[in-house]
Amino acid sequence: MAGVSTARDPVADLRRIAFLLERANEATYRVRAFRSAAGALAALGADEVADRAAAGTLTELAGVGEVTARCVAESLAGEEPVYLRRLLATEGTDLDAAASALRAALRGDCHTHSDWSDGGSPIEEMALAAVELGHEYLALTDHSPRLTVARGLTAARLRRQLDHVAAVNAALPAGFRILTGIEVDILPDGSLDQSDELLDQLDVVVGSVHANLRDDRARMTRRMLAAVANPRLDILGHCTGRMVTDRPAGVTGPGDRGHRARSRPPSDFDAAAVFAACAEHGKAVEINSRPERQDPPKRLIRLAVETGCLFAVNTDAHAPGQLDWQRFGCARAVLCGVEPDRVVNTWPVRRLLDWTAGHQPAAA
């Protein structure tokens, strides 16, 4: 009948708002407000949600505040919530054609974090957000033991995570897969911060320098060359370690559990030698899409292109909405002349896994 509104799904609207807030790098407390409200309502039946909205008692539920309750009422009335409409109206600018083509070619993300280390969301939420973005796979790469500030996974916790991922994969939509992985710390001597036995079980290993970032040029170069030569490493993560902007306290991101990321200059190392080693050993250089990292700088991406390196355009996402940050990495990659077929996460999962398996030492 004309003039009758059809109710929207208020839980879906609340989750969409949280996703867009994460993508915009808004403060964590805002994101949590909408995710908490979505969780509270998802536990109720649709009829009870509607009854509470009509009675004005939604805010009596733990996790539901006045702003989120208003969004629910608008959804139930068949209206796009004003909060959601405002976020959609202020989305970032569109990518140019070449960057859009690269973004469309990406099949997955090879560097992501969950609440098992310093991410803010469960593995299941990260995976479902990746499905909604059209990904075919998502590599879960939580931190390794020595990065205690990020709740790095001990060997025992990593083994438990592998079992958990297997169970989650069994319940996910057909055609999508969580890849097992780790962002392993590159230690001062260039070794990797996890046992060889466990690294051999993983689908994707990202190696990054997180400590002693001010090592002198010669020491840092030796450290990175040793890591790149390790057959268990697949991707060299955020290679300079720089931070180009301060991130305000309370904004979701790496080490977000009460920590503040400050701007930081890049590490000093012989990039030509490190990239040559990446090309020689068939390792990928990460183009990290986080807005506060933009790592490597464009001049180093161009050097890696000229050296013949492979690349991985990754988000380093610590929340579901950040999985859509690949657009930033794609824009920088295209600007620097990166061809899509040299980006390993444009490859089908079988080709990607054949590539990572090819780095592994031969069985005895």
b/e burial code for range 195-221 (CB count within 10 A of at least 16 → b)? eeebbeebbbbbbbbbeeeebeeeebb
Average pLDDT, the chain: 90
CA distance 198 to 202: 7
For the record, the structure tokens of 129 come out as 């957000």
Name the band, by pLDDT with cuts 50, 70 and 90, for residue 205.
very high
| pLDDT tens track for 260-316 | 457 899 999 999 999 999 999 999 999 999 999 999 999 999 999 999 999 999 999
Domains of the chain and any CATH numbers? 10-89 (1.10.150), 97-357 (3.20.20.140)
- Yes or no: say if 84 and 17 are a contact pair by the CB < 8 Å rule: yes
- In the numeric block, the tokens 């009335």 are attached to 77
What letter does residue 205 receive in the DSSP assignment? E
CA distance 310 to 165: 27
Q: Quote the pTM value.
A: 0.81
Q: What mean pLDDT do residues 223-233 have?
A: 98
Higher pLDDT, 3 or 75: 75
The reported pLDDT for the residue numbered 251 is 44
For the record, the structure tokens of 324 come out as 């859509």
Strands of the chain, DSSP E: 108-112, 137-140, 177-185, 204-208, 235-236, 284-288, 310-314
The reported pLDDT for the residue numbered 1 is 42
* Alpha helices, DSSP H, located in 106-174: 123-132, 155-171
Please state at what angle helix 271-281 crosses helix 298-307, rounded to 10 degrees. 40
Give the 3-state secondary structure percentages of the chain, helix then strand then coil, rounded to 5.
45, 10, 40
The reported pLDDT for the residue numbered 89 is 75
